[in-house]
C-alpha cells in the first residue's frame, strides 16, 4: 500500500489509512456480521408520586403515597427488612400504604427507597421515592432528680457544640444512557447535603443487585444539591449491570462521615455487534494480518475519560482475542498511539504495534502521568490488575516513548499495555537498555521506525493465577520513503529474551523477524511491499 510523503502528510502516514486505502487482509476472514433487526419501539411512561419522599420517626409508623401513571407497574425496595408497602403492582393510579418498623439504632437514622417501574418489554419509565427514618428513640429518662441545677434554659452554655440538625440527604439514582458493549453513562441527583456540600459522590455497581462491589467516584463537591454523571467503562458485552448512586457527607453531630444511597437500578450492555466506524486504524505497516469477525467496520468505539482520546476495538474470529487501538490528539492532529491484541485467557496482550518517529512523537518531557488502570476499550475481566513476587508490569509501549502530551502518556498505563515481566536484571536491565536504544535511535524526516512488542507462552507458569510469559520479543523495521511517499527501503531485526534475569547487553538477544513469526504464528509487517518485506524480515543486524 502506498503512503504519501511523510513530512507533507504526517498524520496520514503515521496515524491511519483511510477506509478506501485499507489493504486486503492476508488471512481468511469471516463475512461481515449480518445487519441486526430493528429495535422495538419503546413507549415511555411518567410516574408522579405525592409526596415525593416520606420521613418517619424512629418509632416507625404508617404513611401513604399517591401514585399517578398510565402504565402497568411494579414496585420494589432493596430495604425490605424495615420497609413494607402495599400494593406492589398494578395498573394506573393507586394509593400505596407504607409501613416502617421501629429503628433499633439509637445513634443513626436510616434510609431506603421504593422504586416504581413500568412493566413490559416495550415500555420504559421509573420513579424512586426516598424513605427516611430518624434514629431510634431513647428510653424516657423519667424525672430530673435535681431540677434546680439545670442551666438557664434561655442561655446556650456552649453554642459551638450544638449538634447539627438531623441529616436528611436525598439521593436519586437516574437512568443509564449512552450504553455500548463496554460502557455506560449513569446519572445521579442529590439534595439536602449540609453546608459545604459532599465529601464524596459516585456509584456502586456490579453484576448482582445484592453485591455492588465495584465503585466509580467523582470525589467532593461544594454543592448542597446537584446533578452529576458517572461514566463506567471496561464492561462486559451483553451483560446486565446493577448500580446505585451515593454521596458521603460529614455529620458534625456524630463526628463522622455518613453515606446516603439511591435506589438500585440496572442496564444491559450491547452485544458488541453494531459497527460504528471503519478499519482505518488497522492500516499500519507493522500490524499483522488479522482474521476479523467483521471486515467492514470496527466492533465499537468510544471517547476515553480525559482529553481528546478515543479507543476502537475489533472482534476477531477467535472469541478469546480482541484488538484495540488507542488514539489521542496533539497539535491539532489525531495520532494512533498503539494497537494491541488482547487475549482473554492470558489477561494480557499478545502483541502491541506502534510507531517511533521524533517529529510525530516528540519528547516534551511530560513524565509518568498515570497509574496502571483498566483499558476502557476491553472488558475488565480480560485485564490483569496486579503483578507478582519478583515480577513487575512490563510496558509494551514504554512510558518514555509517549512524552508529547499527558493524554498520550496516560494510555501507556492501561492494563492492555503490560504483561508480567521479571524485574531484576531484565525489566530494569537489558530490556530497559533496549527500550532506551529504540528511543534514542528513533528517526525523523523521511524514515520511520515501526515496532512490535510481544510475548510468547511456551510453558504453563502462572503468577498469582495469571499466566506468565515465557519470552518477550521486540520487532523493529526501519522504512524509508521518497518525496512521493513511496517506500524505497526497509531494514529489520528482532530481539528475543526468556522472561528471567539476563546478563550482558541487549544485543545478545538479536534474531530475525522471520524467527519470531515462526514461533508466534503471526505474520507481521504485511503492508510492507513484498520485495522489501522478505529481505528485511530475514536480517539479523541492528537497524540503526
pLDDT of residue 315: 93
- The length of the chain, given as a count of residues: 544
This prediction has a pTM of: 0.58
User: Based on C-alpha coordinates, what's the Rg of the chain?
Assistant: 30
> How many Å apart are CA 414 and CA 23, to the nearest integer?
29
Domain limits, CATH 3.40.570.10, in the chain:
10-22+279-537
3-state secondary structure of 471: strand
CATH topology of domain 167-272: Immunoglobulin-like (2.60.40)
pLDDT of residue 108: 63
pLDDT of residue 157: 37
Q: How many CB atoms lie within 10 A of CB 104?
A: 10
What is the residue-level pLDDT of the chain in tens, covering all 544 positions? 333 333 333 443 344 333 333 333 334 333 333 444 454 567 888 888 888 778 888 889 999 999 999 989 999 887 777 899 999 999 999 999 999 999 887 766 677 778 888 888 677 788 878 787 777 876 554 444 444 444 444 443 343 334 445 678 999 999 898 887 777 889 999 999 988 888 889 999 999 988 887 888 887 888 999 989 888 877 777 789 999 999 999 888 877 888 899 999 999 987 654 444 578 889 899 999 899 998 888 888 888 877 788 999 999 999 999 999 999 988 888 899 999 999 999 999 999 999 999 999 999 999 998 789 999 999 989 998 777 789 999 999 999 999 999 999 999 999 999 999 999 999 999 999 999 999 999 999 999 999 999 999 999 999 988 999 999 999 999 999 988 788 999 999 999 999 999 998 999 999 999 999 999 999 999 999 999 999 999 999 999 9
> How many Å apart are CA 291 and CA 33, to the nearest integer?
13
pLDDT of residue 15: 41
Domain limits, CATH 2.60.40.10, in the chain:
42-135, 167-272
> How many Å apart are CA 91 and CA 451, to the nearest integer?
63
In whole angstroms, how far apart are CA 535 and each of 269, 304, 492, 495, 525? 47, 40, 8, 17, 12
> How many Å apart are CA 363 and CA 119, to the nearest integer?
57
> How many Å apart are CA 367 and CA 9, to the nearest integer?
28
CATH class belonging to 42-135: mainly beta
Q: How many CB atoms lie within 10 A of CB 47?
A: 19
Which helix or strand (DSSP H or E) is residue 466 part of? strand 466-467
Grid cell in block for residue 275:
459497527
Q: Where are the alpha helices (DSSP H) in 334-443?
A: 406-410, 431-440
Tell me the residue ranges of DSSP E strands in 199-276.
200-206, 214-217, 226-232, 240-251, 256-261, 265-268
CATH topology of domain 10-22+279-537: Extracellular Endonuclease; Chain A (3.40.570)
pLDDT of residue 277: 54
Quick one: angle between helices 530-537 and 513-520, nearest 10?
Answer: 90
Amino acid at each position: 500500500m502506498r503512503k504519501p510523503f511523510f513530512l507533507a502528510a504526517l498524520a496520514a502516514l503515521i496515524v491511519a489509512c483511510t477506509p478506501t486505502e485499507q489493504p486486503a487482509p492476508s488471512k481468511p476472514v469471516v463475512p461481515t456480521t449480518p445487519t441486526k433487526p430493528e429495535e422495538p419501539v419503546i413507549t415511555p411512561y411518567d410516574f408522579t408520586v405525592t409526596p415525593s419522599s416520606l420521613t418517619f420517626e424512629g418509632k416507625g409508623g404508617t404513611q401513604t403515597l399517591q401514585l399517578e401513571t398510565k402504565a402497568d407497574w411494579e414496585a420494589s425496595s432493596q430495604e425490605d427488612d424495615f420497609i413494607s408497602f402495599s400494593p406492589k403492582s398494578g395498573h394506573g393510579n393507586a394509593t400505596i400504604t407504607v409501613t416502617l418498623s421501629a429503628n433499633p439504632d439509637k445513634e443513626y437514622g436510616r434510609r431506603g427507597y421504593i422504586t416504581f417501574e413500568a412493566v413490559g418489554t416495550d415500555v420504559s419509565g421509573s420513579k424512586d421515592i426516598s424513605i427516611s427514618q430518624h434514629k431510634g428513640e431513647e428510653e424516657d429518662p423519667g424525672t430530673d432528680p435535681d431540677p434546680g441545677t439545670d442551666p438557664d434554659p434561655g442561655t446556650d452554655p456552649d453554642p459551638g457544640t450544638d449538634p447539627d440538625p438531623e441529616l436528611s440527604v436525598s439521593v436519586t439514582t437516574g437512568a443509564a444512557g449512552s450504553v455500548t458493549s463496554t460502557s455506560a453513562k449513569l446519572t445521579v441527583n442529590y439534595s439536602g447535603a449540609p453546608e459545604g456540600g459532599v465529601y464524596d459522590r459516585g456509584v456502586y455497581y456490579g453484576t448482582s443487585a445484592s453485591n455492588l462491589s465495584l465503585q466509580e467516584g467523582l470525589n467532593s463537591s461544594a454543592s448542597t444539591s446537584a446533578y452529576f454523571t458517572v461514566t463506567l467503562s471496561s464492561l462486559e458485552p451483553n451483560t446486565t449491570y446493577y448500580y446505585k448512586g451515593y454521596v458521603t457527607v460529614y455529620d458534625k453531630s456524630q463526628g463522622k462521615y455518613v453515606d446516603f444511597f439511591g435506589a438500585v437500578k440496572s442496564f444491559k450492555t450491547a452485544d458488541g455487534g453494531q459497527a460504528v466506524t471503519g478499519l482505518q486504524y488497522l492500516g499500519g505497516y507493522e500490524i499483522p494480518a488479522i482474521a476479523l469477525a467483521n471486515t467492514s467496520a470496527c466492533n465499537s468505539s468510544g471517547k476515553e475519560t480525559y482529553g481528546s482520546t478515543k479507543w476502537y476495538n475489533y472482534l476477531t474470529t477467535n472469541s478469546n482475542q480482541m484488538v484495540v487501538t488507542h488514539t489521542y490528539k496533539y497539535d491539532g492532529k489525531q495520532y494512533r498511539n498503539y494497537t494491541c491484541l488482547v487475549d482473554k485467557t492470558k489477561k494480557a496482550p499478545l502483541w502491541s504495534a506502534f510507531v517511533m518517529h521524533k517529529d510525530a512523537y516528540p519528547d516534551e518531557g511530560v513524565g509518568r502521568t498515570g497509574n496502571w488502570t483498566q483499558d476502557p476499550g476491553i472488558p475488565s475481566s480480560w485485564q490483569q490488575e496486579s503483578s507478582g513476587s519478583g515480577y513487575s508490569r512490563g510496558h509494551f509501549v514504554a512510558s518514555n516513548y509517549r512524552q508529547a502530551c499527558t493524554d498520550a502518556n496516560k494510555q501507556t498505563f492501561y492494563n492492555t499495555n503490560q504483561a508480567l515481566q521479571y524485574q531484576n536484571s531484565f525489566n530494569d536491565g537489558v530490556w530497559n537498555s533496549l527500550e532506551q536504544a529504540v528511543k534514542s535511535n528513533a528517526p525523523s524526516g523521511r524514515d520511520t521506525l515501526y515496532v512490535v512488542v510481544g510475548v510468547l507462552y511456551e510453558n504453563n507458569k502462572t503468577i498469582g493465577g495469571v499466566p506468565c510469559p515465557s519470552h518477550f520479543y521486540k520487532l523493529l523495521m526501519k522504512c524509508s520513503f521518497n518525496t512521493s511517499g513511496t517506500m524505497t527501503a526497509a531494514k529489520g531485526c528482532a530481539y528475543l529474551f526468556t522472561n528471567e534475569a539476563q546478563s550482558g547487553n541487549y544485543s545478545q538477544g538479536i534474531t530475525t523477524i522471520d524467527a519470531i513469526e515462526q514461533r508466534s504464528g503471526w505474520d507481521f509487517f504485511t503492508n510492507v511491499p513484498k520485495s522489501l518485506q522478505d529481505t528485511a524480515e530475514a536480517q539479523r543486524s541492528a537497524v540503526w
